[in-house]
Structures are given as C-alpha cells and as structure tokens.
Structure 1
C-alpha cells in the first residue's frame, strides 16, 4: 500500500475529496504560473527584489509568486516597478528575445527604489521578459503578449 501516497493527504483524501480537486486546482495555479497570470489592463505590477528571484507583490494574483509569467494584452497600458526585498542593488528592464531593452523601458540600478523605479508602458509583441541586469540568471520572468 505504498502506492496510495494519498496517505500523504490522508485527511484530505477522506474529508476533503473535493479539496483534492482544489489541490489539482492549485497544481493548475502552478501551471498558470507557467502558462502565465493574466494582468488586467491599467494594473500596476510590483515586484520585490530578492537576489534569488523577483517575487510578485502586486496585484494579488502574482503575490508570492517567484518570477511570475505576466500575460499582458497587446497595445494596452500597464505600470511595472519594484520595491526592496533583500537590500541588494537591482534594476528592472523589459527586454526582447535578444535580451535587448525595449523602448528604453528600464530603471537605474539602485538599492533604494522609489517612484522612479515604477514606469508606465504599452505592451508590445517585442516584449519577452523582465529582468534585473545585476542578477540576470535568477531575476528573470517571462512576459506573454496576447
């Protein structure tokens, strides 16, 4: 009976069978993270700068997500920026598939982010990712344009 690793969920299996479906939903949420999280037009997207990754702060849909994939509507306006997470120096850039900054959508490197570290942009199909140039291997998330 090792196969029923559902013993791992032993209470969930008996009492919350529907919640197992929600666990599948949670898995779908994880899949949504891979597929992306749709961001409403006009939303301000705030990320926390942790050297290990960007952590979603706002909107609520991305809160706590590491390097969340953002699904944006082409031609629509959004704001994006970052706030301090770990005290390190970071910046935020919107880049294309060649890792080049799109339309000068970037912030200066700083360890004390403020209003200058939030900018408005129009979503274009050129945009592929957001990245911290100081930590490009870990602080990078996908942008999907629909």
Structure 2
C-alpha cells in the first residue's frame, strides 16, 4: 500500500495507452461538449482543428482513465482530490491518436487539521503517438498517512 510517507517529490512515472476512436469522440461530444467541430467532419474542416477532434474535456477523461488503471497496478491509500491547479490543452487530439501519460510528483504537504492525511501535487503530461504534448495538468491528490502501528522507528 502506498501512503503519504512513500511519496517522493521528483519521482516520475510513465504509463497508459489509450486509442482514440471516432465513435467515442462523437459519443462524448454529443453528451458533454456538442460543438460542431467535435461532431462533424464538415464543420471541423472550417476551423482551426481542420478535422474532427476530441473535446478537451474528453482528453481529460481519457487521461483520468489511464490514471485510474495505473492506480490499480499500485495500491494507494488515496482519498480523492480537491481539484486541480492548472489545465492546459496544447494540441488537438484526433481519432486515431494513441495517448500516454508521464507524471511527476511536485510536492507533498501533511494536513495541519487532519493528521491522518496529507496532500500532494503532481504534473501530468499527456502525449500522442508522435510524442507531441497534447495536454498538461497539475492536480492535487489526498492520501492517508501511514497508520502509527505500521511506522518504522528511525534508527
């Protein structure tokens, strides 16, 4: 189990593989971001995107899917998230793209009001199959502190 005490600022990880499909781009946009350039090749051709592109919110959801899959590989004492500090969509994501994530722990802070938990910030960068950055996000995670009975005394 990964606890607050195990988190090391500067630690990097790379994970995930997400194939973006045309059907999923249209389905997500139809429900959550029904702008014409996410729904129609003809309308998208008239815009900066040039062709059908995924919603930025869809890109964030695909990243979240990869994060959760990665979490299942490394059990964490996670407690959710109070939010994000920054989100940037850097390049359009298109059907046929294959996404992956690189993440780095920025810092961690023990809670002053809840001694059983702490928080950490991490920066995740999402890349496409050409190693182009398509999105960055700085997020905050909440995590349990190691129970006192499991602490190893310092020598």
TM tier relative to shorter chain = under 0.3
TM-score (structure 2 length as normaliser)? 0.25
TM-score (structure 1 length as normaliser)? 0.26
- Which structure is higher in RCO with an 8 Å CA cutoff and minimum separation 6? 2
